Amino acid sequence: MNVLVTGYQGYIGTHLVDLLKKNNHHVVGVDVGLFDGCAWEDYTQPDVIIRKDIRQLHISDFKGIDCVMHLAAISNDPMGDLNENITYSINREGSIELAKMAKKAGVSRFLFSSSCSIYGKSSKPDMVESDPTVPITAYAISKIACEQAISQLADSNFCPVFLRNATAYGHSPNLRIDLVVNNLLACAISRGDIRIMSDGSPWRPLVHCKDIARAFVAFLTAPTHDIYNKIVNIGGNSQNFQVKDVGNLVQKLVPNAKIVYTGEAGPDSRDYKVNFDLLKQILPNFELEYTLESGMKELFQKYLSYNFKVSDFESEQFVRLRTLKKRLYLIENN
């Protein structure tokens, strides 16, 4: 199939392009290059590259495309807070326009990368797709707005699907260390401590970034009537963890590292457990390849062979917020 992937150079996108190509799909990659030069490994290139802001795409860019996988975004709460207007412009307005253009161009399937973080501080232990969401940040508000607006476009020729991904972790050619698991492990290896920015009690659903990419590939070929206009949580029921569990697993890998609970309330009050039964129901053959433990072991080995140091832990290469601050000019005046 002909697949257009936005955000193909990102943490998840680099896995996704590789998997799509391994499955013999033709891939068009769109990215503005916010994290150019940040990858720590080479990654598979798409067949065609469109180096553009998603807000600059033309209908002709979608010619012959069967499915759009839309991942490009300012991709988490702190980055979204850096400049809320840009976040709304790209993540909300830009994404909705992109979906409209794809539909107009005759694209029949649109897979949107949403997030479980919209559950915010959950009111009950097992959040399902129909539960009320508590979007507080510009990032989360944008994700919900897209789900709502793009679902209105669904018709017999256009099938949108909303993949509400758990928080990602694990190795990718373009690593992010702002994500909790990657961060705690990197901190332990490079600084010798495991700094948990809370009392460790908040719950998070976690999923390997490659498993998110695998889910996108599975939704590409799933029968339309099984997935039509559905919102689906992406992760596994056994993969909800308290942050302190993550800290303990890190300590198993780096026994000399000390766990430090900073106890900060911080701006991030997210605390939610998520139910993933619908994913199992819709794609019964889809299994996660990784558990948190196996994914952490793999990343641990990668950090060791890279000789990951304090200077890396603080570098623009791995700390996304720093790079983004310097490269805002790429997306500011669009």
User: Where would I find the H helices in 205-309?
Assistant: 209-221, 224-227, 243-253, 277-282, 292-306
Contact indicator for 57, 4 with CB cutoff of 8 Å: no
CB of 70 or CB of 109, closer to ligand NAD: 70
Least distance from C-beta 198 to ligand NAD, angstroms? 18
**Of positions 17, 18, 92, 113, contacts ligand NAD by CB under 6 A:** 113
Least distance from C-beta 318 to ligand NAD, angstroms? 11
The count of residues in the chain is 334
Please calculate the CA angle 159-160-162 and round it to the nearest 5 degrees.
145
**Of positions 4, 12, 141, 159, contacts ligand NAD by CB under 6 A:** 12
Q: Taking Cα atoms as reference points, which of 86, 221, 200, 222 lies closest to residue 142?
A: 86
CB of 119 or CB of 303, closer to ligand NAD: 119
What are 265's strand-pairing partners? none
**Of positions 4, 5, 13, 279, contacts ligand NAD by CB under 6 A:** 13
Q: If binding is defined by CB under 6 A, does position 175 make contact with ligand NAD? A: no
Least distance from C-beta 192 to ligand NAD, angstroms? 26
**Of positions 25, 109, 171, 176, contacts ligand NAD by CB under 6 A:** 176
**Of positions 4, 25, 28, 35, contacts ligand NAD by CB under 6 A:** 35
CB of 55 or CB of 195, closer to ligand NAD: 55
CA pair distance 324, 334, nearest whole angstrom: 16
Would you state the structure tokens that stand for residue 187, as one six-digit string?
Answer: 């901190």
Task: Show contacts with ligand NAD in window 42-71 (CB under 6 A).
Answer: 53-55, 71
CA pair distance 67, 227, nearest whole angstrom: 14
CB of 35 or CB of 257, closer to ligand NAD: 35
CB of 209 or CB of 257, closer to ligand NAD: 209
User: Strands, E, within the chain: which ranges?
Assistant: 2-6, 26-30, 48-50, 67-70, 109-115, 159-165, 167-169, 193-196, 203-208, 231-234, 240-242, 258-261
Point out which residues bind ligand NAD (CB under 6 A).
Answer: 7, 9-13, 30-35, 53-55, 71-73, 75, 90, 94, 113, 115, 165, 167-168, 176, 179, 331
